[in-house]
Amino acid sequence: MYRTLSITALIVAASLSSAMAQDSKPAQPDQNPAHQMHYAEGTNAAAKPMANAAMKNPWVGGAEMYPTKNIVENAVNSKDHTTLVAAVKAAGLVDTLSGPGPFTVFAPTNAAFDTLPGGTVDNLLKPENKAKLTKILTCHVVAGKVSAIDLSNAIDQNGGSYKITTVGGCSLIAKKDAAGMIWLTDDSGATGQVTIADVNQSNGVIHVVNKVLLPAM
């Protein structure tokens, strides 16, 4: 039986409900191989915390991610997350995700949205589908800051799989493969991979995923 992530979900869910009721310049891509190690260290239970703390944020979508900026401020600079940013704006969640949080966001790429059936994204962005869009987006948000090593340890301590409850009420089952990479299974039964972990923000952390995580339909 999975143990649900201990978080302040009720507080953040209330904040998101309130938001729903109302309606830096990117630098050149970093080729530093150390950033390719960032994920592996973050998911290794034997990783050295001090080494991770000293390491710069990985780059995302050709842009530097600044730990002094919030989730929205960094996301708008990623060329791989233009669809996600448009969705956050359409759902009226900009103020919430710019707030103090902290939040953990599993951020699907443009390529992840492109795997949805044709016309899905355009329909979700319509005003009449705001509630549905908000439900999907909040399936990607967890209250509190959850690092890759937090997830890795939780998976190890719970028999190889760990249930995360999002602020949208969705359940994500986290597992690791033989290489230590984290995979998430959503309520629809589909699975996506965390491709870039531990992108630290002033109000939480982003983990890039290659799948749009959906609620049960």
Instruction: Print burial letters for 58-75: b (CB count within 10 Å at least 16), e (below 16).
Output: bbbbebbbbeebbbbbbb
- Domain architecture of the chain: domains with CATH: 9-18+35-209 (2.30.180.10)
Token code pair at residue 30: 């970093």
pLDDT at 55: 54
**C-alpha dist (Å) from residue 96 to 4, 124, 204, 214:** 23, 19, 12, 20
Dihedral of alpha carbons 98, 103, 109, 113, sign: negative
pLDDT at 23: 39
pLDDT at 70: 96
Neighbouring C-alpha atoms within 13 Å toward the C-beta of 68: 1
Residue among 31, 23, 29, 52 nearest 40 (CA): 52
Per-residue pLDDT of the chain (217 residues; tens, 9 = 90+): 444 443 334 334 434 444 433 433 333 333 333 333 233 333 333 333 333 444 589 999 999 999 999 999 999 999 999 999 999 999 999 999 999 999 999 999 999 999 999 999 999 999 999 999 999 999 999 999 999 999 999 999 999 999 999 999 999 999 999 999 999 999 999 999 999 999 999 999 999 999 999 998 7
In angstroms, the CA 111 to CA 81 distance is 9
- Residue 117 Cα to chain centre, angstroms: 22
pTM, to two decimals: 0.77
